[in-house]
Structure formats: C-alpha cells, structure tokens
Amino acid sequence: MLTRVFKSGNSLAVRIPKELASALSSQEVDIEKVGDTLVLRSVVKRKLTGLAEAFAAFPPGFMAEGREFHEQKERDWSGFGEGAAVHQAHPEYKPAGDK
C-alpha cells in the first residue's frame, strides 16, 4: 500500500492508512530499522497482575542450595582499544576539548 512521508516539525511522519491502522492496538509504537525496512510494533504495556500467583507456584525448596557456580573463562583483551590508538596516531587527531 502506497502512502506519503511528510514533514512534521523537525521530524518525518507517515500517514498510516485506515485499513492498516486497525493492526495497531495502541497509540504508542516501537519503530526499528531492519536492513532497509522500518518495522512498527504496537507497544503493549504489561501489568504485574498475577505475579504473586506465579511466584507462589514455586515449591518452598526452590533454589534452596542457591545457584550453580560457573567458572569464568579468561578473556582475550589483546586488540581491545587498538582502534583508539590508531585514531590518536593520526596527524590530524585533536583530543576532545582542544580547538
């Protein structure tokens, strides 16, 4: 379905045709860029109703022994920050605040 983009203040806006507007269940939408496509999703506000019942469903001894401990692997930090060092070595580099 073809529609037009128009300027609204400092932003661009799109009119959503009536036939498609019924797919939006709220006035708030989340917009995301996926490749060269813009995706609109209705924002659904979730309530905490029923949360107490969900927690009550856990047995009394749930996680009584705590969580499992997983050994952390050593991370390879070589190369971390090299981009900044290369950038700073550039002849036209000026630290922030210098004019």
pTM here?
0.41
The whole-angstrom separation of Cα 4 and Cα 13 is: 9
Continuous H helices in the chain: 18-21, 51-56, 82-89
Instruction: Write out pLDDT tens, residues 67-94.
Output: 888 888 888 877 776 665 655 666 666 6
Instruction: Write out pLDDT tens, residues 11-31.
Output: 999 888 888 887 777 778 888
Q: Tell me which DSSP letter residue 41 carries.
A: E
Which among 3-17, 38-52, 79-93 has the top mean pLDDT? 3-17
Q: Tell me which DSSP letter residue 58 carries.
A: S
